[in-house]
Amino acid sequence: MKKGNLCNLKSCFLCRNCLKHWLPAIEVHKQNLVIKKGQKIFEEGDPVKGIYFLFKGRVKVHRKWGDEKQLILHFAQEGDIIGYRGLGSNKVYPVSATALDEVILCFIDIAFFETSLQVNPRLTYTLMQLYANELQLAERRIGNLVHLDVKARVAETLLMLKKDFGQNQEGYINITLTKQDLASYAGTTYETFFRMITELEQEKIVLLSGKDIAILKEAKLEKLIE
Amino acid sequence: MKKGNLCNLKSCFLCRNCLKHWLPAIEVHKQNLVIKKGQKIFEEGDPVKGIYFLFKGRVKVHRKWGDEKQLILHFAQEGDIIGYRGLGSNKVYPVSATALDEVILCFIDIAFFETSLQVNPRLTYTLMQLYANELQLAERRIGNLVHLDVKARVAETLLMLKKDFGQNQEGYINITLTKQDLASYAGTTYETFFRMITELEQEKIVLLSGKDIAILKEAKLEKLIE
DNA sequence: GCAAAAATATGATATAAATCATATTTTATG
DNA sequence: CATAAAATATGATTTATATCATATTTTTGC
């Protein structure tokens, strides 16, 4: 699985937030990996061996509840760090990460990453900020699940995806997901998600074309959320 | 509201995680505050002026959805840091904090706190770890809201409170909350919460005495969650 | 290029939990 | 201590959404 030097020591979260003179150390320690579509990068319950930086492709971060049910917590894209959810007190990944397309990433073992944190206070600070933002987001989601109906949550989901991934020339959101994955991200079932997005389509608020979704009336989606 | 030197430079999150030679600087900058039961320490939407460290009393951290609905995200106790949810990119508190009893706390202005982070890498690292743990917790709650029924969530709520606050000699959980607050923490309505905890009482899994709750059969609560 | 698997589509039904309504008890407060 | 306000208690009703069932279309792998 190892591959050549795909890392340019510039683009990833780690390289962006390190002291210049630390880069050679990264150069020595990094391991580039290629993961095929549908394969797991790590799995919930695995001991945390390290941290991954995503160069290319998309990754879903998800977790199972029981045997059947699952929830998607995050979609990662180029430049993102993956596996930081495992950096809490107990060093076990609380989530799985699965490649949505062919993915190229850089693996940094946990020992070297911890050293990097010690050497680069800016890295630690930036990571702290990332967590702070993610926590804020997660807690907003908690409230949305408690207090908004599914349609509003679907609206929120679409707005978030547009914000995170942007849209192409034709206005379609720049990420391709199955309806089941969208449902698992919105925190509902496939059937209900389908019904809600169909409603939104009939109301001309969104436009669907296969797996592609375009937001036609952003204001109306925002109004649904309140 | 200012008061004498209640801080012993030892017990709070900040003092615990700072270099010894930084303590005199804290001494100079800290401001002790007393907040009466029911009063707000800060409110969602307020610009982040600083961080609070709790010496005495209990605090609920909560947020409104719409005008009516609310959600409790966290209960803080002695030794805890409050206000760190405001340290993300946009410097506005995403939550409110309200004293549950008379509360004594220590206020550190944001500028000095940021400097403290720069001077004390260990502080930044520990705070990062705190966020990592909180994020993990928050994301588990998201899944619980999506995939567990209310009774299981009530069970989880009680177990969490016991874990965080412990129990007294008679076995009652060491925190006194209204049923409405418990419901807002479990992510349900007062009525439903009441029904669920009444069921648990009838099943002899918990014991209720006014506002006090004792867990009689922890294993059964855990089984409810799966 | 074909078979199997996965994803999409949609109707019917069940049900958990919110909402509404109201009475009682406890706690705060001037 | 009295009166208002908050919290508790519980039944009845509604509703949103999960679940079940099944048919069709699309994608994937050999």
Kindly indicate the confidence band of residue B9, based on its pLDDT and cuts at 50, 70 and 90: low
Cα→Cα distances A195→A179, B10, B167, Å:
11, 56, 47
pLDDT, residue B3, reads: 42
Q: What is the pLDDT of residue B12?
A: 85
User: Phi and psi dihedrals of B225, rounded to 5?
Assistant: -80, -25
Q: What confidence tier does B91 reach under pLDDT thresholds 50, 70, 90? A: very high
Helix (H) or strand (E) holding A99, with range, is: strand A96-99
Which residues of chain A make contact with B147, given a CB cutoff of 8 A?
A: 65-66, 69, 71
Residue of chain B nearest A124, judged by CA positions: B125
Task: Please check whether residue A12 is in contact with residue A26, taking contact to mean a CB–CB distance below 8 angstroms.
Answer: no
A199 CB below 7 A from strand D atoms: no
From B34's Cα to the closest Cα of chain A, the distance in A is 27
Q: Over the stretch B24-61, which tens digit does the pLDDT of each residue have?
A: 999 999 999 999 999 999 999 999 999 999 999 999 99
Listing DSSP states for B101-152 in one string gives S-EEEEEEEHHHHHHHHHH-HHHHHHHHHHHHHHHHHHHHHHHHHHHS-HHH
- pLDDT at residue B4 in the model: 44
Provide, as residue numbers in chain A, all residues whose Cβ is less than 8 Å from the Cβ of B150.
none
Q: What is the pLDDT along chain A (226 residues), one digit of tens a residue?
A: 344 446 766 678 899 999 999 999 999 999 999 999 999 999 999 999 999 999 999 999 999 999 889 999 999 999 999 999 999 998 999 999 999 999 999 999 999 999 999 999 999 999 999 999 999 999 999 999 999 999 999 999 999 999 999 999 999 999 999 999 999 999 999 999 999 999 999 999 999 999 999 999 999 999 999 8
Q: Which of B62, B75, B226, B205 is nearest to B148 (CA)?
A: B226
Statement: residue B111 has pLDDT above 70:
yes
Name which residue leads in pLDDT, B86 or B4.
B86
- pLDDT of B169 > 60? The answer is yes
Q: To the nearest 10°, report the CA torsion of A69, A185, A84, B117.
A: -130
DSSP reduced 3-state for B5: coil
Q: In one letter, which amino acid is B193?
A: F
Radius of gyration of chain B (CA): 19
Q: Which residue of A has its CA nearest to B183?
A: A146
Closest CA to A205 of A148, A141, A150, A158: A158
The proportion of chain B whose per-residue pLDDT surpasses 70, expressed as a percent, equals: 96
A63 touches chain B (CB under 8 A): yes
Any chain B CB within 8 A of the CB of A65? yes
Contact by Cβ (8 Å): A138, A44 = no
CA distances from B65 to A140, A188, A204, B69 (A): 10, 20, 27, 5
Residue B6 confidence (pLDDT): 64
Calculate mean pLDDT across residues B107-114. Answer: 96
pLDDT of A3: 42
What is the maximum alpha-carbon separation in chain B? 57
Q: How far is CA A68 from CA A40, A64, A191, A192, in A?
A: 17, 7, 16, 17
What CA–CA distances, in Å, run from B182 to B47, B60, B166? 28, 11, 16
Residue B75 confidence class, pLDDT cut points 50, 70, 90:
very high
Output the pLDDT for position A223.
96
Contacts of B178 (CB under 8 A, 6+ apart): B211
In whole angstroms, C27 C1' to B180 CA is 15
> pLDDT at position B1, please?
38
pLDDT at B11: 76
Q: Provide the terminal-to-terminal Cα distance of chain B, rounded to the nearest Å.
A: 47
Taking the C-alpha atoms of residue B118 and residue A107, their distance in angstroms, rounded to an integer, is 28
CA distance B226 to B218: 13
Res B5 pLDDT > 60: no
Split at pLDDT 50, 70, 90, the class of B226 is: confident
In the DSSP assignment, the letter for residue A176 is -
